[in-house]
């Protein structure tokens, strides 16, 4: 497939927005390799445009050789190592706990195929994975405190199964849009901003998260225990790219626009300059990694080109990616990063309100955001990543960081236990909820809304 940037470049010139991104990508392409492999090269061995660079990155990540980047697969390990190498070649400083690697362990439920009709059937066990973390230190003459985090998850569903919309089909799920597209955009933003370091008044952190598909495990671990000396209290904003490879009719969803009062005013002119029709709305919660940061009190945005019929299916392949569109989204994220990094006054964080839609099939909701990674010491219980202040939990006094270990007369050792209790609870009922807080047990009376 041939990609042309002529029209996009002309539009950028007309609008007066300086996007050195396009020219920089066309000039910069480096062949790097995991031993024995050629990485991200086109059929000619060179990349002639920014879109081809982007397409090459997506194609490498979404190749069958990566085995769908599934849990504990060699393909996921190789993809993480490849991302670390890309960060090094681009010129990011390592900011993990071991070079660019941010290793973590998490407890997950491994489904039992003999209990397919039981959503709680299976075995909980510990798994190991790693995020990939790099940093560009602020280079402006008048730096500001704090940091911007730009992220995307690099894992996917492997051979399908749990999470697949074709669960009975044991085929490689390459996840080109979800989320090789966002991972390639993360590299694109990093390449752009390395060349614009002297414009950055705050440090910018780049994080490729793992195990997003298993419950935001990589991002929740990072938000709880950031690496490289980063403190969550110093994170000024988090920008997430998940499924940005299917731009159609210039329409882009910018989710989390309601997580800070200023987002709409700040982002709208940049969208207009990029000739992107942005819908900027929603709180910071959602089914991607920005949720982990929003729950920690950080204003967030999630850039998203929309769902499609190949979502979570083996057919989500690289040949369906709109590479020029991915480059345009990356360009917008670069501009939002530079603008936000230069803002002197803090963004005004807006807490999410309880929403009726969250009840789903349950009659009640507690108003919490679980941390799917679980307690850091592997202890039983449901760790809270966030608490909605207007929900039953918030009204009862539950707090972020609490570990729910009991509800009524039921022990809670996992999210599955919590869901079973929730399914049996009637609106208007009151029950004691036992949490572990600072190594002490605290019992709180929770009343579920009518």
Same domain (yes/no): 44, 151: yes
3-state secondary structure of 115: helix
Cα→Cα distances 314→63, 79, 111, 162, 372, Å? 12, 18, 20, 13, 26
Beta bridge partners of 102: 131
The Cα–Cα gap between 175 and 310 comes to 9
Number of domains making up the chain: 2
Backbone phi, then psi, for 44, in 5-degree steps? -95, -5
| pLDDT recorded at residue 8 | 33
Domain's final residue, options 308, 341, 374: 341
The Cα–Cα gap between 139 and 435 comes to 45
361 DSSP 8-state letter: T
Same domain (yes/no): 240, 280: yes
Dihedral over Cα of 25, 135, 239, 70: its sign:
positive
Dihedral over Cα of 349, 354, 355, 361: its sign:
positive
Answer yes or no: is 347 within a domain: no
Residues 6 or more apart from 332 whose CB is under 8 A from it?
Answer: 252, 270, 271, 274, 276, 303
How many other β-carbons are positioned within 10 Å of the β-carbon of residue 310?
Answer: 19
Within the chain, which residues score under 50 in pLDDT?
Answer: 1-48, 116, 119, 356-360
Same domain (yes/no): 334, 380: no
Answer yes or no: is 112 within a domain: yes
Same domain (yes/no): 40, 178: yes
Answer yes or no: is 107 within a domain: yes
Answer yes or no: is 346 within a domain: no
Structure tokens at 218: 């990589």
Full residue range of the structural domain in which residue 368 is found: 356-447
| pLDDT recorded at residue 307 | 87
Answer yes or no: is 348 within a domain: no
Same domain (yes/no): 189, 64: yes
What's 88's domain CATH number? 3.40.630.10
Same domain (yes/no): 312, 365: no
The Cα–Cα gap between 342 and 142 comes to 9
Backbone phi, then psi, for 326, in 5-degree steps? -60, -40
What's 421's domain CATH number? 2.30.42.10
Same domain (yes/no): 185, 236: yes
The Cα–Cα gap between 221 and 211 comes to 10
Answer yes or no: is 295 within a domain: yes
Domain's final residue, options 283, 306, 341: 341
Radius of gyration of the chain (CA): 22
Residues 6 or more apart from 410 whose CB is under 8 A from it?
Answer: 417, 420, 421
Same domain (yes/no): 131, 189: yes
Same domain (yes/no): 405, 318: no
The Cα–Cα gap between 69 and 67 comes to 5
The Cα–Cα gap between 308 and 166 comes to 14
| pLDDT recorded at residue 46 | 35
Same domain (yes/no): 250, 398: no
The Cα–Cα gap between 38 and 25 comes to 19
Answer yes or no: is 325 within a domain: yes
Answer yes or no: is 39 within a domain: yes
Domain's final residue, options 307, 341, 375: 341
User: Packing angle between helix 20-27 and helix 323-341, nearest 10 degrees?
Assistant: 120
Same domain (yes/no): 291, 382: no
- Measured at the CA of 56, the angle between CA 166 and CA 293, to 5 degrees, comes to 65
Residues 6 or more apart from 105 whose CB is under 8 A from it?
Answer: 126, 127, 128, 129, 378
Same domain (yes/no): 360, 320: no
């Amino acid at each position: 497939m041939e990609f042309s940037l002529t029209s996009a470049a002309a539009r950028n010139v007309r609008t007066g927005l300086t996007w050195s991104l396009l020219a920089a990508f066309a000039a910069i392409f480096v062949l790097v390799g995991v031993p024995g492999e050629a990485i991200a090269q086109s059929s000619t061995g060179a990349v002639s445009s920014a879109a081809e660079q982007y397409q090459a990155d997506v194609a490498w990540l979404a190749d069958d050789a990566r085995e769908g980047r599934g849990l504990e697969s060699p393909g996921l390990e190789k993809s993480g190592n490849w991302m670390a190498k890309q960060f090094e070649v681009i010129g990011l400083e390592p900011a993990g706990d071991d070079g660019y690697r941010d290793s973590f362990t998490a407890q997950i439920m491994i489904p039992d195929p003999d209990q397919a009709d039981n959503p709680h059937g299976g075995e909980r066990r510990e798994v190991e994975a790693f995020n990939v973390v790099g940093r560009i230190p602020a280079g402006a003459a008048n730096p500001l405190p704090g940091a911007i985090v730009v992220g995307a998850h690099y894992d996917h569903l492997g051979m399908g199964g749990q999470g697949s919309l074709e669960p009975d089909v044991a085929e490689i799920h390459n996840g080109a849009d979800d989320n090789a597209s966002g991972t390639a955009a993360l590299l694109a933003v990093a390449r752009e901003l390395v060349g614009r370091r002297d414009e950055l008044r705050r440090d910018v952190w780049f994080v490729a998260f793992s195990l997003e598909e298993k419950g935001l495990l990589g991002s929740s671990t990072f938000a709880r225990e950031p690496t490289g000396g980063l403190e969550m209290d110093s994170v000024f904003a988090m920008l997430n790219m998940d499924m940005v490879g299917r731009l159609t009719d210039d329409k882009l969803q910018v989710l989390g626009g309601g997580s800070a009062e200023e987002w709409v005013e700040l982002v709208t002119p940049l969208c207009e300059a990029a000739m992107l029709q942005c819908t900027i709305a929603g709180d910071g919660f959602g089914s991607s990694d920005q949720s982990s940061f929003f729950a920690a009190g950080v204003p967030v945005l999630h850039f998203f080109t929309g769902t499609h019929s190949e979502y979570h299916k083996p057919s989500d392949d690289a040949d369906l990616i709109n590479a020029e569109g991915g480059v345009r989204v990356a360009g917008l994220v670069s501009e939002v990063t530079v603008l936000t990094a230069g803002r002197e006054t803090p963004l005004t964080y807006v807490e999410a309100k309880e929403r009726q839609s969250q009840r789903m099939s349950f009659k009640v909701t507690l108003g919490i955001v679980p941390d799917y990674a679980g307690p850091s010491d592997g202890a039983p219980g449901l760790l809270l990543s966030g608490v909605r202040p207007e929900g039953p939990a918030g009204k009862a006094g539950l707090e972020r960081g609490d570990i729910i270990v009991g509800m009524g007369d039921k022990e809670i050792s996992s999210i599955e236990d919590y869901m079973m209790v929730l399914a049996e609870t009637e609106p208007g009922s009151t029950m004691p909820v036992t949490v572990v807080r600072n190594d002490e047990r605290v019992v709180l009376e929770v009343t579920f809304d009518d």
